[in-house]
Amino acid sequence: MSWLIAQVWILLLAAFMVGSAAAWLLHRTLPARSKSVR
Amino acid sequence: MGWLLRHNWLWALLAFMLGAVITWFLLVRRGPAQAVAEQQTREAAEEKSEVLVGAGVAAAGTAAAAPTRHFEEPAEQLREEPVEAFDQTQHEAPPAADAGPVTEVDREETRAADPVPLPMPEPVENEPAQPNPTTAVQAKAVAAPVFSRRMDAEPTNAEPTLFDEPVADEVPAETDAVPPGRYGVGSAEAVPHQGPPDGFTIKGNVQSKLFHTPDSPYYGRTRAEVWFRTEADAERAGFTKYVRKPRKSASPGK
C-alpha cells in the first residue's frame, strides 16, 4: 500500500515537472518569435 | 504503470497544470518587473541629472540631502539589469565583452598579415645572378611559398620573375578548388575546427540568417556555419548583415 502511495507521488511529481517544462518551453519560444520579428 | 495513470489521471493532470501555471507565472512576472525596473532607473537617472544640474545652483547641503531615496532605488535596480540582459540574449551571442572579439580579430589579422612580409624581393634581386633553373626552383620552395603570393592579391604589380607564371597558374586552380556550399557560388561549407577557405571572410549563421563581417563585434565569437566571400554573396543567399541594435534605454529619454 505504501508503495502504491509512493508511486502516486512520483507520478504527481513527474507530471508537475513535465508541466513546468512545457510552460518553460512555451515561454521560451514565444519571446523568440517576437524577437525575430523585431 | 499504465493503470496508475489511468486511476490517477485527474491528479496527474492537475499536477501538470499546477507546474505549468507556477512556472509560467514565475517566468512572466520576471519580465514586467524588469521592464518596470528599467523604467524606474531611467526616471531616476533623469531625476539625478536634474538634481546634479541643480546642485551647481542650490546649496550643496539640500542637493545632497534630497535625492538619497532616489539614489538607493537605481542602485537596487541596476543590480538586476545584467540578469535581464543575460536572459534576453542567452540564445544569441552574449553581450559585448570587448576582449573576446578584439582578440579574435587581432589573431585573424596577424594570421592574415604574417605571410605578407615574406622576403619576396630578395629572390627577385638574386635572380638575375642565378639563371640556373634548379636553384631558382629551390629558392622558390624555400623563400616564397605559394600562399604568400595569394595574400598579395595583386601579382601583376610585383616585378616579374622567372617563377611567376607557375604561381599565377596555381592560384585560379586552388580558388576554383573550393567547392561551392549549399548557398551556391561564393559560399563555402564551414569545416569544424578549421579556418575559412582563402578569400572567405564572412561568417554566416544558418539559424538566424545573419552574416557577420570582420567589423561585427560578434565576429570573433560567431561560429561560422557557412562562409561567404563577399557581402553580395551572402545577401544573394538570403542572409542579412548583422547591425547593432540601438540600446533601449537611450531611445526615448535623450
- Does the CB of B4 have a partner CB in chain A at under 8 Å? yes
B215 or B63, higher pLDDT: B215
| Digit-coded pLDDT (tens) for B30-80 | 766 666 666 667 766 666 555 555 444 444 444 444 444 444 444 444 454
> With contacts defined as CB-CB under 8 Å, which chain A residues touch B1?
7
Residues B19, A16: C-beta atoms closer than 8 Å: yes
| Cβ-based neighbour number of residue B6 at 10 Å | 8
Strands across the sheet containing B202-205 = B187-189, B226-228, B202-205, B210-212, B240-241
Residues 31-90 of B with CB under 8 A from A: 88
Q: How far, in Å, CA of B78 to CA of B104, rounded?
A: 30
Phi-psi region of B186 (alpha: psi -120 to 50; beta: other; left: phi over 0): left
Contact in structure between B28 and A28 (CB atoms under 8 Å): no
Q: Encode burial over B158-176: b for 16+ CB neighbours within 10 A, e otherwise.
A: eeebbbeeebeeebeeeee
Phi-psi region of B198 (alpha: psi -120 to 50; beta: other; left: phi over 0): beta
ipTM rounded to 2 decimals? 0.83
Q: What is the pLDDT of residue B23?
A: 94
d(CA B104, nearest CA chain A) in Å: 27
Joined together, the cell numbers standing for residue B100 give: 573576446
CB contacts < 8 A (A, B): 62
- Please tell me which of the candidates A11, A14, A23 has its beta carbon nearest to residue B20: A23
d(CA A20, nearest CA chain B) in Å: 4
Q: What is the pLDDT of residue A23?
A: 94
Question: Which residue intervals of B114-156 are DSSP H helices?
Answer: 121-126, 133-143, 146-152
Nearest CA in chain B to A11: B12
pLDDT average, residue stretch B135-155? 55
d(CA B90, nearest CA chain A) in Å: 11
| Digit-coded pLDDT (tens) for A5-17 | 999 999 999 999 9
| Digit-coded pLDDT (tens) for B77-108 | 445 444 444 544 445 444 444 444 444 444 44
